[in-house]
Amino acid sequence: MGLIQNILAIIVVLGVLITFHEFGHYWVARRCGVRVLRFSVGFGKPIWSRVDRHGTEFAVAAIPLGGYVKMLDEREGPVPDEQLDEAFNRQSVWRRIAIVAAGPLANFLLAIVAYWALFVAGTTTVAPVVGDIAPDSPAARSGLQSGQEIVAVEGGEVRSWDEINLRLIARIGASGELTLQARDDAESEPREHRLPVENFLVRQDPPQPLASLGITPWQPRFPAVLGQIVDGEAAAEAGLQPGDEVLAVNGNPVDEWMDFVSVVRASPGETLALDVARGEERLTLNLEPDPREIEDGATIGYVGAGVVPVEWPEEYHREIRYGPLAAMGQAVMRTGEMTVLTLDAIRKMLIGLISPSNLSGPITIAQMAGDTARTGLETFVSFLAYVSISLAVLNLLPIPVLDGGHLLYYFVEVVRGRPVSERTQAFGLRIGLALVATLMLMALYFDLMRLW
């Protein structure tokens, strides 16, 4: 069922992003007087199509991994004399720039609309209150204490752990000090804390900014009460049931859920004696965690059980909501921040500060799309906005075959006063195709490694 949800979620994400991207090209092309022959979502043989009164064929193709807008162009076939003024290649360089740039700009616009909707509807998050501080860590040396709420990072206001992580990830490679502002309670004044760092998060895969600083987010106590039991796994075979509370393992008391998880992960293939409370009953059950290999090659125990969710105290809830006008400003700011973060991540990957294994291909994106869809509409829309920004940024890179490569040629034409030669463009196309194919293969390789 999870695989089907992932597939459906990635189809929805790609379908929305591709449609907006290609519609940007189509809409501006039509307004520039260019004849559009086909608007296709997907590649390959069309599974549905229709032709409008302007002669444009709208199609949905079988392979939903892209799309294209085909315009009348003398370079791609003969054009009747009476339609020459509608050919793309006959347009002024500024019109061609507008048509090509419209696709990525449509993706930026989609992100702004998505964030605007989230800010108007309101998003609920939990306050970024510090839990444990690791001894002798940067956080400990700065004087940050358990129970404080972080309100700013590097001078920028933050209201959730997600915002904190984004600001910290933007500082990958930093050496010196990171500044946080934290307050003891809602009534107290924030105090500044300077956390010493050296080559912060360099080549960490994946980046773990909070753990690297020695910060563990506060969370309510989770008693070791089972909420879900996966059929056919070790917990079900041992006779455990939803609602059971694990009191002790091998005679050692279990105070909360993570105590139980730690023992299970450390005991692959071993038999554990569980003291279990089932209502008024007290049972002793034998549980043998199945060995399971994780990404770094280590083997852990797995039993196929989840915990009963625990409600966060009301004072830890934070709602972020704006009026329609203020939300537009916030949406533009968030889109700008995510764009800068994406560009900075590409730069740091090229100079070696970020491991290339952080590249994500279709498999990882499908998993993330499915996970966010299962989490809720709010998370899914936020994910859609981020992927839309990433698609826009990648398309604007000056690589021939991408929109950014075409824009590069057109801006060179503006400077030189004449188009780049067909020979140069053909050579650049081969280089661009090689670069894009290499990136796609690398992303797919890292996807498969994550699954393996």
Active site residue 187: no
Cβ atoms of residues 104 and 64 within 8 Å: no
Other beta carbons within 10 angstroms of residue 261's beta carbon come to: 18
Distance between alpha carbon 89 and the CA centroid of its chain, in Å? 37
Distance between alpha carbon 352 and the CA centroid of its chain, in Å? 21
Other beta carbons within 10 angstroms of residue 102's beta carbon come to: 23
Report the C-alpha gap between 71 and 29 in whole angstroms: 8
Tokens read off for 144: 């940050």
Other beta carbons within 10 angstroms of residue 138's beta carbon come to: 23
> Using CA of residue 396, residue 398, residue 403, residue 408, what is the dihedral sign?
positive
Radius of gyration of the chain (CA): 27
**H-run or E-run covering 286:** strand 281-287
Closest by Cα among 146, 151, 295, 283 to 226 = 283
22, 86, 149, 163: the catalytic one is 22
- Return the amino acid letter for 216: T
Q: Which residues have a catalytic role annotated?
A: 22
